[in-house]
Amino acid sequence: MSSKKLPLFSSSLVLLMTTPAALAAENSIWSFDGSARLRYENLQNTVRANTSGDDQVLVSQVLLNLGMEHDNLIAGFELSDQRAWMHDSGTPLGTDDINALEPINAWVGWQQDDTFSVKAGRMTLDIGSRRLMARQRFRNTISAYDGVYGNYQMDGWQTQAFYFAPVDRRPGDRDALEDNEAKLDKQSDDRIWGLHFSQSGETNLELYYFGLNEDGNGADISTFGVRSLKPASAQHWHYEVEGAYQTGETAGEINGQLGNLDVSAALLHAHIGYQFSDPLSSRVELIADYVSGDDDPNDDEFNRFNSLGGVTRPDYGPTGIYGAFAISNLASPGVKWAFQPNANDTAFITYRAIWLDSKTDSQSRTGLQDVTGDSGRFAGHQVDARWRLNFTEQFRLELGATHLVKGEFLEDAPGAPGTGNSTYVYSQASYRF
Protein backbone atom coordinates (compact mmCIF):
# COMPACT_ATOMS: atom_id res chain seq x y z
CA MET A 1 0.00 0.00 0.00
CA SER A 2 1.32 3.42 -0.89
CA SER A 3 2.04 6.04 1.74
CA LYS A 4 -0.79 8.18 0.28
CA LYS A 5 -3.40 5.45 0.65
CA LEU A 6 -2.52 4.37 4.19
CA PRO A 7 -3.50 7.62 6.06
CA LEU A 8 -6.81 7.75 4.18
CA PHE A 9 -7.50 4.11 5.00
CA SER A 10 -6.61 4.60 8.69
CA SER A 11 -8.74 7.75 8.96
CA SER A 12 -11.71 5.97 7.44
CA LEU A 13 -11.41 3.13 9.95
CA VAL A 14 -11.28 5.54 12.88
CA LEU A 15 -14.44 7.29 11.62
CA LEU A 16 -16.25 4.01 11.04
CA MET A 17 -15.34 2.77 14.52
CA THR A 18 -16.17 5.91 16.51
CA THR A 19 -19.45 7.00 14.89
CA PRO A 20 -21.48 3.80 15.60
CA ALA A 21 -19.91 3.52 19.06
CA ALA A 22 -21.10 7.03 19.94
CA LEU A 23 -24.57 6.20 18.64
CA ALA A 24 -24.71 2.97 20.66
CA ALA A 25 -23.71 4.83 23.83
CA GLU A 26 -26.61 7.27 23.43
CA ASN A 27 -29.36 4.69 23.09
CA SER A 28 -29.59 1.31 24.83
CA ILE A 29 -31.49 -0.31 21.96
CA TRP A 30 -28.29 -0.11 19.90
CA SER A 31 -25.18 -2.26 20.29
CA PHE A 32 -21.79 -1.93 18.64
CA ASP A 33 -18.75 -4.19 18.48
CA GLY A 34 -16.02 -5.11 16.07
CA SER A 35 -12.63 -6.64 15.52
CA ALA A 36 -9.39 -6.04 13.66
CA ARG A 37 -6.76 -8.60 12.76
CA LEU A 38 -3.54 -8.83 10.79
CA ARG A 39 -2.03 -12.10 9.54
CA TYR A 40 1.30 -12.83 7.87
CA GLU A 41 1.52 -16.07 5.86
CA ASN A 42 4.60 -17.73 4.42
CA LEU A 43 4.68 -20.84 2.24
CA GLN A 44 7.81 -22.73 1.26
CA ASN A 45 7.30 -24.91 -1.82
CA THR A 46 3.88 -24.30 -3.29
CA VAL A 47 1.26 -27.04 -3.72
CA ARG A 48 -0.78 -25.58 -6.57
CA ALA A 49 -0.67 -26.64 -10.21
CA ASN A 50 1.70 -24.86 -12.61
CA THR A 51 3.40 -22.83 -9.86
CA SER A 52 6.81 -23.05 -8.22
CA GLY A 53 8.91 -21.66 -5.42
CA ASP A 54 7.87 -19.87 -2.22
CA ASP A 55 5.16 -17.34 -1.45
CA GLN A 56 4.05 -14.85 1.18
CA VAL A 57 1.16 -12.49 1.89
CA LEU A 58 0.02 -10.07 4.57
CA VAL A 59 -3.76 -9.91 4.98
CA SER A 60 -5.92 -7.64 7.12
CA GLN A 61 -9.53 -7.92 8.23
CA VAL A 62 -11.68 -5.28 9.96
CA LEU A 63 -15.28 -6.04 11.03
CA LEU A 64 -17.68 -3.41 12.42
CA ASN A 65 -21.06 -4.59 13.68
CA LEU A 66 -24.07 -2.44 14.59
CA GLY A 67 -27.13 -4.11 16.10
CA MET A 68 -30.58 -2.94 17.12
CA GLU A 69 -33.18 -4.57 19.38
CA HIS A 70 -36.43 -2.82 20.32
CA ASP A 71 -39.30 -4.91 21.70
CA ASN A 72 -39.74 -7.63 19.04
CA LEU A 73 -37.96 -5.74 16.27
CA ILE A 74 -34.31 -6.62 15.55
CA ALA A 75 -31.81 -5.47 12.94
CA GLY A 76 -28.14 -5.93 12.14
CA PHE A 77 -25.56 -4.24 9.97
CA GLU A 78 -21.94 -5.37 9.59
CA LEU A 79 -19.28 -3.71 7.47
CA SER A 80 -16.22 -5.74 6.53
CA ASP A 81 -12.91 -4.69 5.01
CA GLN A 82 -10.35 -7.32 3.92
CA ARG A 83 -7.14 -6.48 2.08
CA ALA A 84 -3.79 -8.01 1.11
CA TRP A 85 -0.20 -6.81 0.73
CA MET A 86 3.34 -8.19 0.26
CA HIS A 87 2.23 -10.51 -2.54
CA ASP A 88 3.72 -10.94 -6.01
CA SER A 89 2.44 -11.97 -9.44
CA GLY A 90 2.56 -15.66 -8.50
CA THR A 91 0.52 -15.34 -5.30
CA PRO A 92 -2.89 -17.05 -5.67
CA LEU A 93 -4.93 -13.97 -4.84
CA GLY A 94 -8.70 -14.16 -5.11
CA THR A 95 -11.94 -12.97 -3.59
CA ASP A 96 -11.28 -15.35 -0.71
CA ASP A 97 -8.43 -12.97 0.28
CA ILE A 98 -9.69 -9.50 -0.68
CA ASN A 99 -13.07 -7.79 -0.35
CA ALA A 100 -12.68 -4.11 0.52
CA LEU A 101 -15.40 -2.09 2.30
CA GLU A 102 -18.33 -4.46 1.90
CA PRO A 103 -21.53 -4.89 3.96
CA ILE A 104 -21.88 -8.59 4.79
CA ASN A 105 -24.84 -8.19 7.15
CA ALA A 106 -27.76 -5.85 6.48
CA TRP A 107 -31.01 -7.36 7.72
CA VAL A 108 -34.17 -6.66 9.70
CA GLY A 109 -36.15 -9.18 11.68
CA TRP A 110 -38.73 -10.10 14.30
CA GLN A 111 -38.25 -12.21 17.41
CA GLN A 112 -40.60 -13.67 19.98
CA ASP A 113 -38.81 -14.38 23.27
CA ASP A 114 -36.29 -17.20 22.74
CA THR A 115 -38.77 -19.27 20.76
CA PHE A 116 -39.05 -17.76 17.29
CA SER A 117 -37.16 -15.36 15.08
CA VAL A 118 -37.12 -14.45 11.41
CA LYS A 119 -34.68 -12.26 9.46
CA ALA A 120 -34.67 -10.89 5.91
CA GLY A 121 -31.87 -9.18 4.02
CA ARG A 122 -28.15 -9.90 3.72
CA MET A 123 -26.60 -12.17 6.35
CA THR A 124 -23.94 -14.71 7.34
CA LEU A 125 -24.80 -18.01 8.95
CA ASP A 126 -23.48 -21.05 10.86
CA ILE A 127 -25.50 -24.27 10.80
CA GLY A 128 -24.62 -27.57 12.47
CA SER A 129 -21.06 -28.80 12.00
CA ARG A 130 -20.33 -25.89 9.61
CA ARG A 131 -19.19 -28.38 6.95
CA LEU A 132 -22.01 -27.35 4.59
CA MET A 133 -23.09 -23.87 5.76
CA ALA A 134 -20.83 -21.55 7.73
CA ARG A 135 -19.42 -18.13 8.39
CA GLN A 136 -15.68 -18.26 7.74
CA ARG A 137 -13.32 -17.81 10.70
CA PHE A 138 -9.85 -18.39 9.20
CA ARG A 139 -10.40 -17.35 5.59
CA ASN A 140 -9.83 -13.64 5.17
CA THR A 141 -13.17 -12.90 3.46
CA ILE A 142 -16.61 -13.99 4.62
CA SER A 143 -19.40 -15.39 2.44
CA ALA A 144 -22.73 -13.56 2.62
CA TYR A 145 -26.22 -14.47 1.42
CA ASP A 146 -29.33 -12.49 0.46
CA GLY A 147 -32.63 -13.97 1.54
CA VAL A 148 -34.72 -15.00 4.50
CA TYR A 149 -33.91 -17.11 7.60
CA GLY A 150 -36.17 -18.48 10.33
CA ASN A 151 -35.45 -20.15 13.67
CA TYR A 152 -37.91 -21.94 15.99
CA GLN A 153 -37.11 -23.66 19.30
CA MET A 154 -39.42 -25.78 21.45
CA ASP A 155 -39.04 -28.74 23.85
CA GLY A 156 -35.32 -29.21 23.22
CA TRP A 157 -35.67 -29.12 19.42
CA GLN A 158 -34.46 -26.36 17.14
CA THR A 159 -35.70 -25.91 13.57
CA GLN A 160 -33.82 -23.64 11.16
CA ALA A 161 -34.95 -22.82 7.63
CA PHE A 162 -33.52 -20.53 4.97
CA TYR A 163 -33.80 -19.53 1.33
CA PHE A 164 -30.77 -17.66 -0.01
CA ALA A 165 -29.10 -16.24 -3.07
CA PRO A 166 -25.30 -16.38 -2.56
CA VAL A 167 -23.50 -13.06 -2.93
CA ASP A 168 -20.67 -12.95 -5.47
CA ARG A 169 -17.67 -11.04 -4.15
CA ARG A 170 -16.25 -8.36 -6.45
CA PRO A 171 -14.05 -7.31 -8.13
CA GLY A 172 -12.77 -10.55 -9.61
CA ASP A 173 -10.01 -9.38 -11.95
CA ARG A 174 -6.40 -9.65 -10.84
CA ASP A 175 -5.39 -6.00 -11.27
CA ALA A 176 -8.30 -4.74 -9.18
CA LEU A 177 -7.58 -7.30 -6.46
CA GLU A 178 -3.91 -6.32 -6.31
CA ASP A 179 -4.98 -2.70 -5.81
CA ASN A 180 -7.43 -3.70 -3.02
CA GLU A 181 -10.12 -1.99 -5.06
CA ALA A 182 -13.53 -1.59 -3.42
CA LYS A 183 -16.52 -2.66 -5.51
CA LEU A 184 -19.95 -3.61 -4.19
CA ASP A 185 -20.71 -7.31 -4.30
CA LYS A 186 -23.58 -8.60 -6.39
CA GLN A 187 -26.31 -11.13 -5.73
CA SER A 188 -25.78 -14.23 -7.86
CA ASP A 189 -28.39 -16.12 -9.88
CA ASP A 190 -27.77 -19.27 -7.83
CA ARG A 191 -30.11 -20.37 -5.06
CA ILE A 192 -29.53 -22.39 -1.90
CA TRP A 193 -32.16 -23.38 0.64
CA GLY A 194 -32.40 -25.70 3.59
CA LEU A 195 -34.16 -27.18 6.58
CA HIS A 196 -32.18 -28.22 9.67
CA PHE A 197 -33.54 -29.99 12.78
CA SER A 198 -31.45 -30.43 15.92
CA GLN A 199 -32.02 -31.81 19.41
CA SER A 200 -29.67 -31.00 22.29
CA GLY A 201 -28.95 -33.16 25.31
CA GLU A 202 -26.27 -35.50 26.57
CA THR A 203 -25.92 -36.38 22.91
CA ASN A 204 -27.00 -34.08 20.07
CA LEU A 205 -28.89 -35.24 16.99
CA GLU A 206 -29.23 -33.33 13.72
CA LEU A 207 -31.22 -34.05 10.57
CA TYR A 208 -31.05 -31.79 7.54
CA TYR A 209 -31.86 -31.17 3.90
CA PHE A 210 -30.12 -28.60 1.68
CA GLY A 211 -31.07 -27.74 -1.89
CA LEU A 212 -28.80 -26.06 -4.44
CA ASN A 213 -29.53 -24.65 -7.89
CA GLU A 214 -26.52 -23.23 -9.74
CA ASP A 215 -27.46 -21.22 -12.79
CA GLY A 216 -23.97 -21.29 -14.31
CA ASN A 217 -23.47 -25.06 -14.57
CA GLY A 218 -27.04 -26.32 -14.51
CA ALA A 219 -26.61 -28.02 -11.13
CA ASP A 220 -29.77 -29.00 -9.26
CA ILE A 221 -28.58 -30.88 -6.17
CA SER A 222 -30.30 -32.17 -3.03
CA THR A 223 -28.27 -33.00 0.07
CA PHE A 224 -29.66 -35.20 2.85
CA GLY A 225 -27.69 -35.58 6.06
CA VAL A 226 -27.60 -36.74 9.66
CA ARG A 227 -25.20 -35.95 12.49
CA SER A 228 -24.82 -37.34 16.00
CA LEU A 229 -22.53 -35.64 18.50
CA LYS A 230 -21.54 -36.20 22.12
CA PRO A 231 -19.60 -33.11 23.28
CA ALA A 232 -16.26 -33.47 25.03
CA SER A 233 -16.17 -33.36 28.84
CA ALA A 234 -13.51 -34.20 31.41
CA GLN A 235 -12.83 -37.91 31.98
CA HIS A 236 -15.42 -38.98 29.42
CA TRP A 237 -15.45 -40.34 25.89
CA HIS A 238 -16.89 -38.15 23.16
CA TYR A 239 -17.68 -38.68 19.50
CA GLU A 240 -19.07 -37.21 16.31
CA VAL A 241 -20.52 -38.98 13.27
CA GLU A 242 -21.89 -37.11 10.25
CA GLY A 243 -23.02 -38.51 6.94
CA ALA A 244 -24.49 -36.75 3.89
CA TYR A 245 -25.64 -37.95 0.49
CA GLN A 246 -26.18 -35.83 -2.62
CA THR A 247 -28.45 -36.58 -5.55
CA GLY A 248 -29.76 -34.61 -8.52
CA GLU A 249 -28.32 -33.41 -11.83
CA THR A 250 -25.48 -31.25 -13.11
CA ALA A 251 -24.27 -30.28 -16.56
CA GLY A 252 -21.24 -32.11 -17.96
CA GLU A 253 -19.79 -34.15 -20.79
CA ILE A 254 -20.77 -37.69 -21.71
CA ASN A 255 -18.27 -39.16 -24.18
CA GLY A 256 -17.40 -35.68 -25.41
CA GLN A 257 -21.00 -34.51 -25.73
CA LEU A 258 -22.68 -31.96 -23.44
CA GLY A 259 -25.48 -33.40 -21.34
CA ASN A 260 -26.91 -33.82 -17.86
CA LEU A 261 -25.05 -36.02 -15.40
CA ASP A 262 -26.77 -37.81 -12.54
CA VAL A 263 -25.31 -36.73 -9.19
CA SER A 264 -24.43 -39.40 -6.65
CA ALA A 265 -21.95 -38.22 -4.01
CA ALA A 266 -21.31 -38.74 -0.33
CA LEU A 267 -19.55 -37.35 2.74
CA LEU A 268 -18.69 -39.17 5.96
CA HIS A 269 -16.91 -37.78 9.01
CA ALA A 270 -16.29 -39.67 12.24
CA HIS A 271 -14.13 -39.14 15.28
CA ILE A 272 -13.94 -40.60 18.74
CA GLY A 273 -11.95 -39.11 21.58
CA TYR A 274 -11.28 -38.89 25.27
CA GLN A 275 -10.91 -35.80 27.48
CA PHE A 276 -8.25 -36.34 30.16
CA SER A 277 -8.00 -34.52 33.49
CA ASP A 278 -4.22 -34.07 33.29
CA PRO A 279 -2.58 -30.63 33.83
CA LEU A 280 -2.89 -29.90 30.08
CA SER A 281 -6.58 -30.87 29.85
CA SER A 282 -5.54 -33.08 26.95
CA ARG A 283 -8.13 -34.22 24.43
CA VAL A 284 -7.11 -37.00 22.04
CA GLU A 285 -9.21 -37.92 19.00
CA LEU A 286 -9.02 -40.55 16.28
CA ILE A 287 -10.43 -39.12 13.03
CA ALA A 288 -11.67 -40.55 9.73
CA ASP A 289 -13.04 -38.66 6.72
CA TYR A 290 -14.36 -39.76 3.35
CA VAL A 291 -15.57 -37.37 0.63
CA SER A 292 -16.35 -38.83 -2.78
CA GLY A 293 -14.67 -37.85 -6.04
CA ASP A 294 -15.86 -38.44 -9.61
CA ASP A 295 -15.10 -42.07 -10.43
CA ASP A 296 -15.19 -41.95 -14.22
CA PRO A 297 -15.04 -38.68 -16.22
CA ASN A 298 -16.57 -40.43 -19.24
CA ASP A 299 -19.72 -41.91 -17.70
CA ASP A 300 -23.13 -40.29 -17.17
CA GLU A 301 -22.71 -39.93 -13.39
CA PHE A 302 -21.06 -37.20 -11.31
CA ASN A 303 -19.68 -38.30 -7.95
CA ARG A 304 -17.71 -35.28 -6.70
CA PHE A 305 -19.26 -33.97 -3.47
CA ASN A 306 -20.34 -30.31 -3.43
CA SER A 307 -19.46 -28.62 -0.12
CA LEU A 308 -22.15 -25.94 -0.63
CA GLY A 309 -21.31 -23.07 1.78
CA GLY A 310 -19.10 -25.04 4.18
CA VAL A 311 -15.63 -24.41 5.60
CA THR A 312 -12.57 -26.64 5.61
CA ARG A 313 -10.16 -25.20 8.20
CA PRO A 314 -11.41 -27.24 11.20
CA ASP A 315 -10.95 -30.55 9.39
CA TYR A 316 -8.28 -30.18 6.71
CA GLY A 317 -5.91 -27.38 7.70
CA PRO A 318 -5.38 -23.71 6.81
CA THR A 319 -6.65 -22.07 3.67
CA GLY A 320 -5.00 -18.77 2.61
CA ILE A 321 -2.01 -19.27 0.30
CA TYR A 322 -1.78 -22.90 1.44
CA GLY A 323 -5.24 -24.52 1.16
CA ALA A 324 -4.10 -27.91 -0.08
CA PHE A 325 -7.21 -29.87 0.93
CA ALA A 326 -10.95 -29.27 0.95
CA ILE A 327 -14.25 -31.14 1.26
CA SER A 328 -13.77 -32.97 -2.01
CA ASN A 329 -12.31 -36.25 -3.34
CA LEU A 330 -10.42 -37.60 -0.34
CA ALA A 331 -10.13 -40.41 2.16
CA SER A 332 -8.19 -39.53 5.29
CA PRO A 333 -7.54 -41.07 8.70
CA GLY A 334 -5.85 -38.98 11.39
CA VAL A 335 -5.22 -38.26 15.03
CA LYS A 336 -5.54 -34.98 16.97
CA TRP A 337 -4.17 -33.83 20.32
CA ALA A 338 -5.77 -30.66 21.69
CA PHE A 339 -4.49 -29.19 24.97
CA GLN A 340 -4.17 -26.08 27.14
CA PRO A 341 -0.54 -25.04 27.77
CA ASN A 342 -1.85 -22.72 30.51
CA ALA A 343 -5.12 -21.29 31.81
CA ASN A 344 -5.44 -18.76 28.96
CA ASP A 345 -3.95 -20.49 25.91
CA THR A 346 -5.16 -23.33 23.70
CA ALA A 347 -3.27 -25.47 21.19
CA PHE A 348 -3.59 -28.53 18.99
CA ILE A 349 -1.52 -30.81 16.76
CA THR A 350 -3.21 -32.90 14.04
CA TYR A 351 -1.73 -35.58 11.81
CA ARG A 352 -3.47 -36.83 8.67
CA ALA A 353 -2.63 -39.26 5.90
CA ILE A 354 -4.58 -38.28 2.78
CA TRP A 355 -5.58 -40.26 -0.30
CA LEU A 356 -7.75 -39.29 -3.25
CA ASP A 357 -11.03 -41.17 -3.44
CA SER A 358 -10.80 -41.06 -7.25
CA LYS A 359 -7.34 -40.98 -8.80
CA THR A 360 -8.74 -39.58 -12.07
CA ASP A 361 -10.64 -36.65 -10.52
CA SER A 362 -9.23 -33.25 -9.58
CA GLN A 363 -7.66 -32.78 -6.15
CA SER A 364 -9.23 -30.03 -4.07
CA ARG A 365 -7.89 -26.51 -4.48
CA THR A 366 -4.50 -27.40 -5.97
CA GLY A 367 -5.95 -27.71 -9.47
CA LEU A 368 -4.03 -30.95 -10.02
CA GLN A 369 -5.63 -33.79 -11.97
CA ASP A 370 -4.40 -36.89 -13.77
CA VAL A 371 -7.20 -38.21 -15.98
CA THR A 372 -5.15 -41.34 -16.70
CA GLY A 373 -4.83 -42.24 -13.02
CA ASP A 374 -1.10 -42.99 -13.46
CA SER A 375 -0.11 -40.66 -10.59
CA GLY A 376 -1.89 -42.81 -8.05
CA ARG A 377 -4.08 -41.85 -5.11
CA PHE A 378 -1.75 -40.97 -2.25
CA ALA A 379 -1.56 -37.21 -1.67
CA GLY A 380 0.68 -37.14 1.38
CA HIS A 381 1.15 -36.79 5.13
CA GLN A 382 0.05 -33.51 6.75
CA VAL A 383 0.93 -32.24 10.24
CA ASP A 384 -0.97 -29.13 11.34
CA ALA A 385 -0.38 -27.22 14.60
CA ARG A 386 -1.87 -24.08 16.14
CA TRP A 387 -1.25 -22.12 19.37
CA ARG A 388 -3.60 -19.35 20.54
CA LEU A 389 -2.23 -16.96 23.15
CA ASN A 390 -5.03 -15.00 24.81
CA PHE A 391 -3.30 -12.06 26.49
CA THR A 392 -6.58 -10.32 27.42
CA GLU A 393 -10.25 -10.79 26.59
CA GLN A 394 -9.71 -8.43 23.66
CA PHE A 395 -6.21 -9.21 22.38
CA ARG A 396 -5.11 -12.55 20.95
CA LEU A 397 -2.00 -13.80 19.15
CA GLU A 398 -2.25 -16.95 17.03
CA LEU A 399 0.68 -18.96 15.65
CA GLY A 400 0.30 -21.82 13.21
CA ALA A 401 2.41 -24.21 11.14
CA THR A 402 1.55 -26.92 8.63
CA HIS A 403 4.00 -29.34 7.04
CA LEU A 404 3.04 -31.49 4.05
CA VAL A 405 5.13 -34.46 2.99
CA LYS A 406 3.93 -34.85 -0.59
CA GLY A 407 2.79 -38.22 -1.82
CA GLU A 408 3.06 -39.65 -5.31
CA PHE A 409 0.03 -37.78 -6.62
CA LEU A 410 1.23 -34.32 -5.55
CA GLU A 411 4.69 -35.12 -6.92
CA ASP A 412 3.78 -36.75 -10.24
CA ALA A 413 0.43 -35.34 -11.43
CA PRO A 414 0.60 -33.14 -14.57
CA GLY A 415 1.44 -29.57 -13.57
CA ALA A 416 2.70 -30.56 -10.11
CA PRO A 417 5.19 -27.96 -8.78
CA GLY A 418 7.97 -30.50 -8.23
CA THR A 419 9.55 -28.30 -5.56
CA GLY A 420 9.62 -30.71 -2.63
CA ASN A 421 7.62 -30.87 0.58
CA SER A 422 5.63 -27.81 1.66
CA THR A 423 5.83 -25.84 4.91
CA TYR A 424 3.28 -23.16 5.73
CA VAL A 425 3.53 -20.85 8.75
CA TYR A 426 1.46 -17.89 9.87
CA SER A 427 1.25 -15.42 12.74
CA GLN A 428 -1.94 -13.53 13.44
CA ALA A 429 -2.79 -10.74 15.87
CA SER A 430 -6.42 -9.84 16.56
CA TYR A 431 -8.20 -7.31 18.74
CA ARG A 432 -11.89 -7.20 19.66
CA PHE A 433 -13.59 -4.02 20.79
Report the pLDDT value the prediction gives residue 123, as an integer from 0 to 100.
98
| Per-residue model confidence as pLDDT tens digits over 147-166 | 999 999 998 899 999 999 99
**Tell me, what's the pLDDT at 297?**
83
What are the residue ranges in the chain where pLDDT is below 70? Answer: 1-27, 256
Q: Measuring CA to CA, how many Å separate 295 from each of 42, 193, 247, 270, 303?
A: 35, 28, 15, 23, 6
- What is residue 253's predicted lDDT score, i.e. its pLDDT? 77
Which DSSP state fits 23? Answer: H
The per-residue pLDDT for 252 is 83
Q: What pLDDT, on the 0 to 100 scale, is given for residue 89? A: 87
Dihedral sign for Cα 46, 51, 54, 56, please: negative
Cβ burial, residue 235 (10 Å; 0-12/13-18/19+): exposed
* pLDDT for 91: 92
Q: Which helix (H) or strand (E) holds 408?
A: helix 408-412
Calpha distance 124→185 (Å, rounded): 14
The answer, as to whether pTM is greater than 0.85, is yes
The pLDDT, as a whole number, for residue 324 is 95
Closest CA to 311 of 63, 143, 61, 150: 143
Per-residue pLDDT tens for 294-318?
A: 998 888 999 999 999 999 999 999 9
CB 96 within 8 A of CB 123: no
Position 5 scores a pLDDT of 41
* Amino acid 27: pLDDT: 60
146 vs 126: CA distance, rounded Å? 15
259: how many CB neighbours lie within 10 A of its CB?
12
DSSP string spanning 190-211? -EEEEEEEEE-SSSEEEEEEEE
Mapped onto helix, strand or coil, the DSSP state of residue 19 is helix
d(CA 127, CA 311): 11
Q: Are 331 and 357 within 8 A, CB to CB?
A: yes
**Residue 392: partners with Cβ closer than 8 Å, 6 or more residues away:** none
Cα(266)–Cα(290) distance, rounded to whole angstroms? 8
Q: What burial class does residue 392 get, using C-beta atoms within 10 Å of its C-beta: 0-12 exposed, 13-18 middle, 19+ buried?
A: exposed
